[in-house]
Amino acid sequence: MTLLALETSCDETSAAVVRDGRVLSNVVSSQIQLHAEYGGVVPELAAREHLKNLLPVARAALHAAALAPPDLDAVAATQGPGLAIALLVGFKAAQSVAFALGKPFVGVHHHEAHLYSPWIWRAPVLGRSDDRSGSGVAAAGDGRTPLVADFDDFQPNVSLIVSGGHTQLVLVESELKHRVLGGTIDDAAGECFDKTGKLMGLPYPAGPVIDRLAVEGNPNAFVFPRPLLNDAGDDFSFSGLKTSVRYFLRDHPALLDDPQKVRDLCASVQAAIVEVLVKKTIRAAKREGVRCVTASGGVTCNRGLRRELAAACGKNHFALRLAENSLCTDNAAMIGILAERKLLAHALLPPLDDEVKPGWALA
């Protein structure tokens, strides 16, 4: 089965072609530079960019897969959640293509797609041993082999979705069957990275910058709160941490003039966020009795988070599957892979005139 998938829920315009669980192409056009000037995503600008870029991106995806529209068996798009006017661009375009071709249309929940992105895998290159470490950690491939969905290895897991808009823990009991355990009650983890970075004068999005600076910083230099760490529930809260950084900088303004202190601050803030994410994920996995942890979403690119999750999973004998970096941030490949699984499972599909669902909550 061959599908074209489109993703325009936020600030990435992406199109992918998927065939029988293989990602034939995955083209992503990021708008980060455009929004950086405003310190965050401006919905109207995002939608205009999607309108401008969607056709070239879709063409490029088809071209890279050496296919033409008549070769498609189905068309998929992100239906929600996301920015309404951004979602509309990809969703309505995909419905139109499906209508014109007379093929099925699949509307996909963006976070449900994130849940399965850690199972999209680069097949190991023969003679290399970097795809599976001895600790049971599944790591990203090296970019030389195609991405393939690996659902034969699927096992029940607790999945952490951490991005700029969401922080969620989800129990994935079996393929296409999941239950949300908890989520953030205020800021998402990525938002906390971005907002604390802004307080430090770092450019948007600050998450990757903090990650980079933290490498040479001391994570124990400053102590920040670990919100809800000892709360028995699976919810998260990060706004208190952000406020604590704000007060800290108000009381120590000269600190920002010292590059090493800024690195220490980055490492300390990152350590607080990562500790909460890792400990709550591991605790949920133990309680739910699963043997596998997965993670995806932009913040999963964070090296501190990847390292600490690997260490904690190794210690607790959990298998760990981390989405590879190109699939952590928003992409259409994960939308196409999930859409194909839904078609194969004969899942109920939305009618062709269905609407976007900007506030669609994961059940």
Residues 298-337 vs Zn ion: string with x where CB under 5 A? --------------------------------x-------
Q: What is the DSSP letter of 12?
A: E
Q: Closest residue to ligand KG4, Cβ-based? A: 298
CB contact set of 274 (below 8 Å; sequence gap of 6+): 302, 304, 305, 308
Peptide bond into 43 cis (omega under 30): no
Please give the size of the binding site for Zn ion, defined by CB under 5 A: 2
Distance CA 184, CA 299 (A): 14
Q: Does residue 126 sit in helix, strand or coil?
A: coil
Q: Least CB distance from residue 352 to ligand KG4, whole Å?
A: 27
Q: Does 299 bind ligand KG4 (CB under 6 A)?
A: yes
Q: Does 163 bind ligand KG4 (CB under 6 A)?
A: yes
Of residues 49, 101, 96, the one with CA closest to residue 77: 96
Peptide bond into 205 cis (omega under 30): yes
Q: Which amino acid is at 154?
A: F
**Which among 138-146, 162-170, 177-185, 219-227 is the span making contact with ligand KG4, rule CB under 6 A?**
162-170
Strand pairing of 74-80 and 22-30?
unpaired
Distance CA 176, CA 113 (A): 10
Q: Does 141 bind ligand KG4 (CB under 6 A)?
A: no
Contact 192, 185 (CB under 8 A): no
Q: Least CB distance from residue 245 to ligand KG4, whole Å?
A: 15
Q: Does 301 bind ligand KG4 (CB under 6 A)?
A: yes
Tokens encoding 130: 């970097």
Tokens encoding 226: 């670990």
Q: Which does 190 bind (CB under 5 to 8 A by kind): Zn ion, ligand KG4, none?
A: ligand KG4
Distance CA 40, CA 37 (A): 8
Residues 11-40 vs ligand KG4: string with x where CB under 6 A? ------------------------------
How far the first Cα of the chain sits from its last, in Å, is 28
Q: Least CB distance from residue 98 to Zn ion, whole Å?
A: 23
**13, 26, 157, 163: residue in contact with Zn ion (rule CB under 5 A):** 163
Q: Least CB distance from residue 211 to ligand KG4, whole Å?
A: 4
**Which among 169-177, 186-194, 252-260, 313-321 is the span making contact with ligand KG4, rule CB under 6 A?**
186-194
Q: Which does 2 bind (CB under 5 to 8 A by kind): ligand KG4, Zn ion, none?
A: none
Distance CA 356, CA 332 (A): 16
Q: Least CB distance from residue 329 to ligand KG4, whole Å?
A: 4
**194, 234, 264, 308: residue in contact with ligand KG4 (rule CB under 6 A):** 194
Tokens encoding 294: 């997965």
Q: Order of strands, edge to edge, in the sheet holding 74-80?
A: 105-109, 74-80, 2-7, 12-19, 22-30, 147-149, 120-122
Residues 195-214 vs ligand KG4: string with x where CB under 6 A? ----------xxxx--x---
Q: Least CB distance from residue 197 to ligand KG4, whole Å?
A: 8
Q: Which does 117 bind (CB under 5 to 8 A by kind): ligand KG4, Zn ion, none?
A: none
Q: Least CB distance from residue 163 to Zn ion, whole Å?
A: 5
Our CB check for ligand KG4 shows the closer of 158 and 273 to be: 273
Q: Does 330 bind ligand KG4 (CB under 6 A)?
A: yes
Q: What is the DSSP letter of 199?
A: H
Our CB check for Zn ion shows the closer of 89 and 271 to be: 89
Please give the size of the binding site for ligand KG4, defined by CB under 6 A: 19
Q: For 90, what's the count of Cα atoms within 13 Å in the CB-facing half-sphere?
A: 43
Tokens encoding 197: 């970075």
Distance CA 236, CA 271 (A): 15
Interaction site with ligand KG4 (CB under 6 A): 10, 163-165, 190, 193-194, 205-208, 211, 297-299, 301-302, 329-330
Interaction site with Zn ion (CB under 5 A): 163, 330
